[in-house]
């Protein structure tokens, strides 16, 4: 079974899909405590309930697959479209920080078309 790490996990929707596809989600992260409660009900196991900026990347297990759905409000055409000028938009760089350490073979990011 191939392992994977999940960032900005929410209630675990993407994680469930990866699990159904045969992946073992060995580590997950979400800042919202209510989302973490639901995540734990959907996927028993570990989820780091913390701000991703406070997590030392060296504490995250290395794996070949990294995925996540970071906040899209900064880029969405339904929002103000402030991009990297919005603090939430800069969470993209937290993924880059972790990926730079992990060196996964695959990175899957769920977001909105205006990200480009």
Taking only Cα atoms into account, the Rg of the chain, rounded to an integer number of angstroms, comes to 14
pLDDT of residue 116: 66
3-class secondary-structure state, position 64: coil
* Residues designated catalytic: 72
Whole-prediction pTM: 0.87
| Per-residue pLDDT tens digits for 45-101 | 789 999 999 999 999 999 999 998 877 777 766 777 776 777 777 888 899 999 999
Contacts of 93 (CB under 8 A, 6+ apart): none
The answer to which of 30-34, 42-46, 63-67, 110-114 has the lowest mean pLDDT is 110-114
Q: Where along the chain do its domains lie? A: 2-115
For the domain 2-115, what is the CATH code? Answer: 3.40.50.150
């Amino acid at each position: 079974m191939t392992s994977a790490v999940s960032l900005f996990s929410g209630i675990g929707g993407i994680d469930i899909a990866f699990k159904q596809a045969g992946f073992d989600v060995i580590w997950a992260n979400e800042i919202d405590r209510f989302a973490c409660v639901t995540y734990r009900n959907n996927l028993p196991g570990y989820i780091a309930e913390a701000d991703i900026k406070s997590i030392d990347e060296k504490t995250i297990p290395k794996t070949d697959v990294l995925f996540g759905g970071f906040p899209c409000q900064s880029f969405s055409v339904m929002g103000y479209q402030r991009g990297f000028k919005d603090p939430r938009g800069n969470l993209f760089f937290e993924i880059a920080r972790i990926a730079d350490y992990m060196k996964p073979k695959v990175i899957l990011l769920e977001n909105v078309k205006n990200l480009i």
